[in-house]
Amino acid sequence: MLEARTNQGAPVRASKITSLPEDVKPLHCRYCASKVEGVGPYFRGKDGPNPTKVGAYFRLASGQRHEAGCAYNPVEVVTGVETGELAC
């Protein structure tokens, strides 16, 4: 996910992970109250012939799951596609 939010609801872009002050943490999913953590940019396959830069992103914090109605909840998304409530 490329955007999270603070406790106050302010949006935070993943590209700003390295410059975030500690007092804005914990961060939350853009669509639910689940806690997320930032992963800074890095190179995948940096020892090989074709390194690939992976941009910064947010992931669920350890032990967290997206809430039932969250747009990032995979069970909700798959169920919505199967029932026709969500188009893919």
Is 87 within a domain?
no
Quickly count helices (H) and strands (E) in the chain.
1, 7
User: How buried is 6 (Cβ within 10 angstroms: 0-12 exposed, 13-18 middle, 19+ buried)?
Assistant: middle
Q: Whole domain around residue 29: which residue ranges?
A: 3-62
Distances in Å between the alpha carbon of 79 and those of 22, 64, 87? 37, 20, 11
Is 32 within a domain?
yes
Q: What is the pLDDT of residues 20-36, one digit of tens each?
A: 887 888 999 999 999 99
Q: How many domains would you assign to the chain?
A: 1
Q: Is 77 a residue whose pLDDT tops 80?
A: no
**pLDDT tier, 86 (very low <50, low <70, confident <90, very high otherwise):** low
Q: Is 88 a residue whose pLDDT tops 60?
A: no
Is 76 within a domain?
no
Pick the range with the lowest mean pLDDT from 2-11, 35-44, 45-54: 45-54
Tell me the C-alpha distance between 22 and 37, whole Å.
Answer: 12
User: How buried is 37 (Cβ within 10 angstroms: 0-12 exposed, 13-18 middle, 19+ buried)?
Assistant: middle
